[in-house]
Structure 1
Amino acid sequence: ALKYFSDSLEMNRQIHGEAPHPDVVVSLYEIGNIFWAKGDYNRALKYFTDSLDIYRQIYGDAPHPHVAVSLHELGNIYRSKGDYIRALKYFTDSLEMKRQIHGDAPHPEVAVSLHELGNIYRSKGDYIRALKYFTDSLEMKRQIHGDAPHPEVAVSLHELGIVYNAKGDYNRALKYFSDSLEIYKQIHGDA
């Protein structure tokens, strides 16, 4: 796959030259994903940074979903590297841009960013902030999915259970784990 995306990048650069073009970004992004999957975070970081730079040339300062996703992916890379300070910055920037794009309406992309911020704060041992972001994410996911059992809601419940467990609040942790398990049973049965 890396060879094909590298060939695609080369062809797109021949076609578009130095002009910033979305086709070039797609190739850079996919190469970055391959390096990320392989655990080569420094090379992934280079490709994701290059793709963000080109998107910013294309869209300027205007909030755009592609820029928000690029910021989010950079947050993922820094989290994978254990650099929670930089991850926090990119996830926060991504969340702010997604809120500019989607406003106050509940949106899955906003819920994902809230969830990732919860993960970062949990990793840093800041359980108060982790609970806030996981709770905000859960509430938004419930607004989006309603009362229907949904795996995204189950994941948020599970994450809240992990945080309460880490805090030593085992009764609350058990409640969130049980609620998460119940949703998974509704989705998948008792198998």
Structure 2
Amino acid sequence: MTMELKRLPIINLWDRILVPIQGDVTDDLAEQLNTEVLRAIHESGAKGLVIDLTAVWIMDSHLCAVLSNLASAARLMGTPTILSGLSPEIAMTLQAMGVELEAVRTALTLEQALTMLGLEVRRAEARDEDDDEDDDDLFDDEDDEDDDEDGWEADDRSDARRAAPAARTSRSAASSERRQGSQSRLRRR
């Protein structure tokens, strides 16, 4: 009888891969993790791998070996690995076990890990309706003073911005709604 494996979330974030680890990592899940992440790196040509451990409460020698092997294989493929979200307890456990993850860099938060891979996470002010005409330029490769030669930005808007104009009772009410919500932007440096 074959046990069905959990579906691992492997998130392609532009040319980086994010893998949040949740719960216990069994032998079968470890094999699936290695296979699927390395396949995703190969198919996408990822420039970085972030393994987020925020939801991991216990780190044992098995999970350490799995992560170390995955990071080493990713490095052989030219993809640096960053572990993010290590709790103080897990950091102390790794130190007590004498574990040195040589192929891995660490970051306290996911935001720091993304920054280490060249992405910038920042909050943006709400934009007026007049700014909608500039939306076509969000993915242009034109340089900003903060961007490098192949810079880009993505904009994730609040649901209030996506509402149909007919649903708005007045322009001032819509403007007020937009000012209350904030948007997040990811911007490559």
Question: Which has the bigger relative contact order, CA under 8 A and spacing at least 6?
Answer: 2
Q: TM-score, normalised by structure 1?
A: 0.30
Q: Give the TM-score of the pair, scaled to structure 2.
A: 0.30
Larger strand proportion, structure 1 or 2? 2
Point out the structure with the larger helix share. 1
